[in-house]
Structures are given as C-alpha cells and as structure tokens.
Chain A
Amino acid sequence: MSAFFKALAQIIMGIVAEISDQNAYKRHLAAHGAVHSPDEWRRFQDEHAAANSRRARCC
C-alpha cells in the first residue's frame, strides 16, 4: 500500500513539475549545459513561452 501511495505521490509531483515547467527547465539546462541562474531562467522563459504560446488550447 505504501508503495502505491509513493508511486501516486511521484506521479502527482511529476505532473506538478510538468505543469509548472520545472521539468522543461531541467531539460533546457541539460540541453544547454547550463546551471540555474536568473538570466538562464529568463532565457528559458523567453524560448519556452514563445513556443508554448503558439500551441492551441482546447475549448
């Protein structure tokens, strides 16, 4: 049972991290070989938000 709740918690945290772009940011850092900094975050925000804003959301 505890394994189930652990897995559930991992999935929920994963979804939160995905929705809040934490995972995308980690991928951005890995892809650019960079470490977190305010400037790096802003660079990520600009790139990611520009791409995201082109994607349709349904009704």
Chain B
Amino acid sequence: MGAVASNRGEPVNSTWLVIASVCTYLVGYRFYARFVAARVMALDDKRATPAERLRDGHDFEPTNKWIVFGHHFAAIAGPGPLVGPTLAAQFGYLPGFLWIVIGATLGGAVQDFVILFGSIRRDGKSLGQIAREEVGKVGGFTALITVLLIMIILLAVIGLVVVNALKGSPWGTFTIAATMPIAVFMGLYLRFWRPGKVVETSIIGFVLLMASVYGGQAVAQSPSLAPWFTYSGAALASALIVYGFFSSALPVWLLLAPRGYLSTFVKLGVVMLLAVGIIFLRPELKLPPFTRFVDGTGPIFAGKIFPFCFITIACGAVSGFHSLISSGTTPKLLARERHAVAVGYGSMLLESFVAVMALIAAASLQPGVFFAVNSPAGIVGATPAAAVATISGWGFPVTAADMQSLARDAGEQTLFYRTGGAPSLALGMAQIFVSSGVGRALLAFWYHFAIMFEALFILTTLDSGTRVGRFMLQDMLGEVWPKWGQTNWKPGMLTTSAVIVAAWGYFLYQGVIDPLGGINTLWPLFGIANQLLAAVALCVGTTILVKAHGARYMWVTSIPLVWLVVVCFVAGWEKIFSPLPALGFLAQADQLAAGPQTAATSALIFNARLDAAVTGIFLVLVATILVDSIRVWIGVLGGTRTSKTTETPFVPSRLAEEL
C-alpha cells in the first residue's frame, strides 16, 4: 500500500514503516531465529550455562531472561541507531529503511546471536579469545587491534556529533554542562549521604536534569549569561578532550557510574516515549522514498547509495561492536541456552526498531529543512541566502525566513549547518512531541530535551569508551612490560588515558576543522570500521559453524559476511582511491596540494592522507583475519585440519524451573 501511495504521489504515513518492520521482525524471530536456534546451534536447556557452572555472585550469575534482555539492550543501543539512519535519510527514507529491517533480521541479529551462542559454549569468553582459539593467533591479535582502532574512530565521531549539536547553542551547552555537576552530585549523594539508593538518586538527578533543560532557556536569553555558554566547534572539542581525560582518570563512582544510571534510564524512557509518539501520532513522511542523491552527490556525505547507505547505517542494521557485548557480560548472565534467542536475536531487532523510529523522526521533517540543517557550509554556501538557494535548486524548497522562524521556535540562533544528525533528529522528535497537542510553544523545550538526551548518552559512551580503550591499551602494553598492565599504577593510568584521549581527540579536531563538516569524513570511516568488525565476528561465527556442521549451515553467517566484506571493501577502496575529491581521501589531498599552501591546508592534506592510511589499515587487518579464517574452513572441509572446537563439555543443568 505504501508503494501504491508513493507511486501515485500521495503522502505516505509512517505507520506503514512501523507495520512493515514489526511484521518482518515477528517473522524473523518466529521462524528464522527458531530455525537457527534449533537446527544450527542445537540450543539445549538441559545444558548448564556458564552462569550456572561458574556462578560466583559477581560476573557469572543466572538471571531472569527479560532482565538480561534489558541489560543487553541497554548496552548495545547507543547513539548509532539514532544518528546513522538520520544521516542516511539523504538517500530518501526507503533505502535506509530496507537495510535496517533486512540487515538486522538476516545479518545483525544473526551475528549477535551466533557470537552469544559461541561465547555461552565457551565459558563466556570474549570475541578476541574465541578468535584466537578457533581461528588462530593471527586472528585473535587482529581482532584486538581492530577493536582498539574502531574505538578511537567511534569516540571521535560521536564527539563530533555532540560538538556540532552544541556549537553556538548556549541553551544546549548549558544543559550538557549542567549534567556534569549533576552527575558529581549524584555520585557524592550515593557514596556518602544515601549509600545504595540508586533509584532515589537517579530520580533526583532526573529532576535536576529537567530543571537544567528548562533553565537553559533563561541562560540563552540572558545577554550576560549567554556568552559564557556560546562556543565555537574548536573550543567545544577542546573541552570534550579535557573532559574525556578526566572522566577516564577520575574514580568511577564520582562521575561515570551516576551518569551511567541516569543515561540508561533517560535512554529507555525517551525511546519508549518516541515509540508511543510515532505509534499514536502517526507522523507523515515528508522526505521522498528516494532522493536525487542516490547518485553519490549528497551534501551530508559523499558516495553512492551502494555501498555508502550500508556503511552509514551500522548500528540498527549490522554492528560489529555488538559482538563485544554478546561475548562480554551477557553470556555470563544467561540462565538457559534458549534465552539466547530473545536476548541475542530479539534485542537486536528492538535496536533495529529504534533505528526505524529515528529514520521516521528525520523523514517527518520537510526535506528542505532536513538538508538545511544537515548540510555543511562548504557544500551549500556560507550564507543563509546561498544555502536556501542551493537546497531549493535541488528540488527541496526552503526559505531563509522558514529557517529563521524554526530556529526561533526551537530556541536557537540558527539551524543552518548543524551537521552530525543530532540536531535534525532532535527537531524531528520535538515536532512529533508537539504534534500531540501540547502546543508549538513547547518546541524549544522538546528540542533541547532531545539534544540533552542524545548528548547525555553520547557522553556516557564517550567516557566509558575512553576508559575501556585505556584498559585495552594497558592490557596490550602489559604483555611487553607487566607494570603497564596494572590498572592502579598511576603513571600507566595517566599515560594510557592521555594516549587514548589524544588519539580520538586528534580525529575529533580534524572533523571540527574540516571545511566539509567532518561528518563527511569521519562517519563513513566509523561505519567501515564497525562493519569490518562485524566481518571479523562473522568470520569467527562461520568458523564455529563449519567446525560443528561442515558446510551445511555455513550460509547462515557467510551470506551476511560476504555482503559486508563486499560493502566494506568497495567503500574502503572508494574512500581511499576515488578520483572525486569529495569522496576519495587521496584525491582530496591532491586537490588541496594543488592550491595555495597555508598551515591550515597542510594540516588538511596530512589529515586526508592519514584517513586514507587508517582506512587501508582496517582493510588489511580484516583481509588478514578473513584469509586466516578461509584457510581454517578449507582445512576443516577438506579433512586436512581438525574440526575440534574449544566448546566446553556438556554438563547437565540443575537450575530450578523459576528461571
């Protein structure tokens, strides 16, 4: 019906996307996931899980299925499923929608599920450990390096999303700045005044947070206070880098833990609110199903629909990062093997639905507004008049007066050039919320509430990611000199924190000074990296299946693997070698080198070449593990190599029925 309406030029309601996605998820969950669980994995509730066998009251603990589901979902769903679909909406709503739904059902959920299964059968081991044991030492080391590099790019790109959302916005900056003293207050309250009262502390934190969103308006309107919270991108990036260092070095209980509680509750609450809003208010999709930018000339990021749509949306469709969580905490909590169907496969479907909702929120904006917010000045022109002329010339009419009026309603000075996806998503969400009849006067509040929500859990990912990166670096250095592996050794802690922060800070700064807005460079780099990690996980998953069943069921993981390898290598190749300066890093460097030389140009040339090198390193790393895996598969299938796995022997479960 959606196709009929679209062909007749009628507006399409978002309800069609909701119905189509939910039906696909139900079919995928009921039939495909059950097939994989029964035939491919032979999940067996009579077999004791690591949570039961290794129960220690800390890491290993049999837990209610739906509680593990909530835990797992909270860990996998970050800003990615919100930002990626918003950016990919430059191709229209349909390509992103199809990739989110089909990619999650046949690829992303399968990856999460298979790695969770592999980890449950191996005492809850991590992806790196499984790779080392099942594929080989090269595979294990490659996985480790890949994860560290991805972490650095991820932190830079999500930092850039926050910077672009807060640039020149005193309201937003005040609100986000206020979350830091609020988190510290919560930390002290929980530590010394009301130890153990996490829910009470989180409620207080939430009330303070809402007060800061409300109070931000007064700050923005105050001639004396507003300048204190109005910063350029470079200043915000510097502040974020300093924040990242301190959050990595400070005690966890003071900042990270209370902020984590608050962020998780706000995240779940807003996602539910958005779902309720979309289901009951049924916004109309204003973006067309396909835009002219499928040809690769899009203003948000360069590149054709293939492969860049599939790179831009990683979380929400297929995300390699999930394999770290599926082989981290989750396998240590599952009470029964069959719970892995809901937790591994089901929670990815829910994340995919979050991505669909983000896409709907973005697609419910007027196309002209969507492109005016998301396009960098370097593409559409440095003045509002030039920008609206360019965007209207693309067939998406918008006027400077429309944008000025919208910015005023949203409590911002301008909404032009707010690249990164977060502001347009916040606008879309705010418009859905105000359409419930609460009045347009509340648009500014809801816009900044949505910005606060996005920035809050982006910063949570940023600070916890910095810390995780620091530990990974310390582990690696500890192999060379054990002292570095001691996480409480202050010089080591401070040095590795500084190295990790400097690494992502460099890429963040590079994004901030990029004349094309940074997202054009960094988001595809992150997407390629994340999808390549998915390829690593699917290599490991295929190896497990080949060792268990020979070639019979290897298609379950190898079909998404082949797709991702093709997508990533084509995208990586184009990002390095495309002759178009907007797309290819080397062509961009050559173009800059041919022009007048300044210090800034030299930096941009160096950055473009560095990005090309990083992309090349990613491709080489994944090619290494792919070749290593294929070598193992050929050996096992040809009978020249043992198919012995490291799966733990069967131990009967003694768990009571109540779990």
User: A20 and B202: CB pair below 8 A?
Assistant: yes
User: Nearest A residue to B321 by beta-carbon distance?
Assistant: A58
Instruction: Please measure, in the bound complex, the distance between the C-alpha atom of A49 and the C-alpha atom of B257, giving whole angstroms.
Output: 7
User: Nearest A residue to B154 by beta-carbon distance?
Assistant: A59
Most buried by B among A11, A23, A28, A55: A55
Q: Within A28-52, which residues are at the interface with B (CB < 8 Å)? A: 28, 30-31, 36-38, 41-42, 45-52
User: Nearest A residue to B187 by beta-carbon distance?
Assistant: A45
User: A57 and B198: CB pair below 8 A?
Assistant: no
Q: B525 an interface residue at 8 Å Cβ cutoff?
A: no
Q: B227 an interface residue at 8 Å Cβ cutoff?
A: no
User: A53 and B252: CB pair below 8 A?
Assistant: yes
**Cβ contact of B467, chosen from A21, A23, A53, cutoff 8 A:** A53
User: A18 and B63: CB pair below 8 A?
Assistant: yes
User: B57 and A45: CB pair below 8 A?
Assistant: no
User: Nearest A residue to B461 by beta-carbon distance?
Assistant: A57
Instruction: Please measure, in the bound complex, the distance between the C-alpha atom of A47 and the C-alpha atom of B251, giving whole angstroms.
Output: 12
**Cβ contact of B198, chosen from A21, A30, A51, A54, cutoff 8 A:** A21
User: Nearest A residue to B73 by beta-carbon distance?
Assistant: A15
Most buried by B among A25, A46, A48, A53: A53
B residues in contact (CB < 8 Å) with A: 56-59, 61, 63-64, 66-67, 70-71, 74-80, 151, 154, 158, 190-192, 195-196, 198-199, 202, 252-253, 256-257, 260-261, 264-265, 268, 314-315, 319, 321-322, 324-325, 328-329, 460-461, 464-465, 467-468, 471, 487, 526, 530
List chain B residues, Cβ under 8 A from A31: 56-58
User: A22 and B465: CB pair below 8 A?
Assistant: no
Nearest-neighbour CB distance to chain B for A36, whole angstroms, equals 6
User: A59 and B59: CB pair below 8 A?
Assistant: no
**Cβ contact of B196, chosen from A15, A41, A50, A54, cutoff 8 A:** A41
User: Nearest B residue to A20 by beta-carbon distance?
Assistant: B198
List chain A residues, Cβ under 8 A from B461: 57-59
User: A19 and B57: CB pair below 8 A?
Assistant: no
Besides A27-B61, A59-B321, 5 other A-B contacts (C-beta < 8 A): A18-B67, A49-B256, A54-B467, A55-B328, A59-B319
Q: A16 an interface residue at 8 Å Cβ cutoff?
A: yes
Nearest-neighbour CB distance to chain A for B263, whole angstroms, equals 9
User: B70 and A15: CB pair below 8 A?
Assistant: yes
User: A11 and B261: CB pair below 8 A?
Assistant: no
List chain B residues, Cβ under 8 A from A49: 252-253, 256-257
Nearest-neighbour CB distance to chain B for A38, whole angstroms, equals 4
Supposing A42-B195, A49-B253 touch, asked if A57 and B464 sit within 8 A by C-beta, the answer is yes
**Cβ contact of A20, chosen from B66, B199, B324, cutoff 8 A:** B199
User: A58 and B319: CB pair below 8 A?
Assistant: yes
Supposing A15-B66, A22-B199 touch, asked if A58 and B78 sit within 8 A by C-beta, the answer is yes
User: B325 and A58: CB pair below 8 A?
Assistant: yes
User: A14 and B64: CB pair below 8 A?
Assistant: yes
- 22 A-B contacts (beta carbon < 8 Å): A15-B66, A16-B199, A19-B71, A28-B58, A37-B195, A41-B196, A42-B191, A45-B190, A45-B191, A48-B58, A50-B252, A52-B252, A53-B464, A55-B75, A57-B464, A58-B322, A58-B324, A58-B461, A59-B79, A59-B158, A59-B526, A59-B530
User: A36 and B196: CB pair below 8 A?
Assistant: yes
Nearest-neighbour CB distance to chain A for B57, whole angstroms, equals 3
List chain B residues, Cβ under 8 A from A3: none
User: B58 and A27: CB pair below 8 A?
Assistant: yes
User: B471 and A54: CB pair below 8 A?
Assistant: yes
Q: A1 an interface residue at 8 Å Cβ cutoff?
A: no
Instruction: Please measure, in the bound complex, the distance between the C-alpha atom of A37 and the C-alpha atom of B467, giving whole angstroms.
Output: 29
Instruction: Please measure, in the bound complex, the distance between the C-alpha atom of A35 and the C-alpha atom of B199, giving whole angstroms.
Output: 19
User: B58 and A57: CB pair below 8 A?
Assistant: no
User: A57 and B202: CB pair below 8 A?
Assistant: no
User: B67 and A15: CB pair below 8 A?
Assistant: yes
Instruction: Please measure, in the bound complex, the distance between the C-alpha atom of A42 and the C-alpha atom of B257, giving whole angstroms.
Output: 12
Instruction: Please measure, in the bound complex, the distance between the C-alpha atom of A45 and the C-alpha atom of B268, giving whole angstroms.
Output: 23
User: Nearest B residue to A46 by beta-carbon distance?
Assistant: B253
List chain B residues, Cβ under 8 A from A36: 196
User: Nearest B residue to A47 by beta-carbon distance?
Assistant: B58
Supposing A31-B56, A36-B196 touch, asked if A54 and B468 sit within 8 A by C-beta, the answer is yes
User: Nearest A residue to B351 by beta-carbon distance?
Assistant: A58
Instruction: Please measure, in the bound complex, the distance between the C-alpha atom of A41 and the C-alpha atom of B57, giving whole angstroms.
Output: 15
Instruction: Please measure, in the bound complex, the distance between the C-alpha atom of A28 and the C-alpha atom of B59, giving whole angstroms.
Output: 10
User: Nearest A residue to B471 by beta-carbon distance?
Assistant: A54
User: B191 and A27: CB pair below 8 A?
Assistant: no
User: B195 and A41: CB pair below 8 A?
Assistant: yes
List chain A residues, Cβ under 8 A from B67: 11, 14-15, 17-18, 23
**Cβ contact of A58, chosen from B56, B76, B256, cutoff 8 A:** B76
Instruction: Please measure, in the bound complex, the distance between the C-alpha atom of A53 and the C-alpha atom of B265, giving whole angstroms.
Output: 18
**Cβ contact of B77, chosen from A11, A45, A58, cutoff 8 A:** A58
List chain B residues, Cβ under 8 A from A59: 78-80, 154, 158, 314-315, 319, 321, 461, 526, 530
User: B261 and A20: CB pair below 8 A?
Assistant: yes
List chain A residues, Cβ under 8 A from B321: 56, 58-59
Instruction: Please measure, in the bound complex, the distance between the C-alpha atom of A15 and the C-alpha atom of B322, giving whole angstroms.
Output: 20
User: B257 and A19: CB pair below 8 A?
Assistant: no
User: B465 and A56: CB pair below 8 A?
Assistant: yes
List chain B residues, Cβ under 8 A from A22: 196, 198-199
Nearest-neighbour CB distance to chain B for A28, whole angstroms, equals 7
Instruction: Please measure, in the bound complex, the distance between the C-alpha atom of A27 and the C-alpha atom of B55, giving whole angstroms.
Output: 11
Most buried by B among A18, A25, A38, A56: A56
Supposing A28-B58, A58-B325 touch, asked if A38 and B257 sit within 8 A by C-beta, the answer is no
List chain B residues, Cβ under 8 A from A23: 63, 67
Instruction: Please measure, in the bound complex, the distance between the C-alpha atom of A21 and the C-alpha atom of B58, giving whole angstroms.
Output: 11
Instruction: Please measure, in the bound complex, the distance between the C-alpha atom of A19 and the C-alpha atom of B199, giving whole angstroms.
Output: 9
User: A56 and B328: CB pair below 8 A?
Assistant: yes
List chain A residues, Cβ under 8 A from B460: 57
- In the A-B complex, the 7 residue pairs with the smallest Cβ-Cβ separation, listed nearest first, are A31-B57, A20-B198, A41-B195, A49-B252, A15-B70, A59-B80, A38-B195
Nearest-neighbour CB distance to chain B for A43, whole angstroms, equals 10
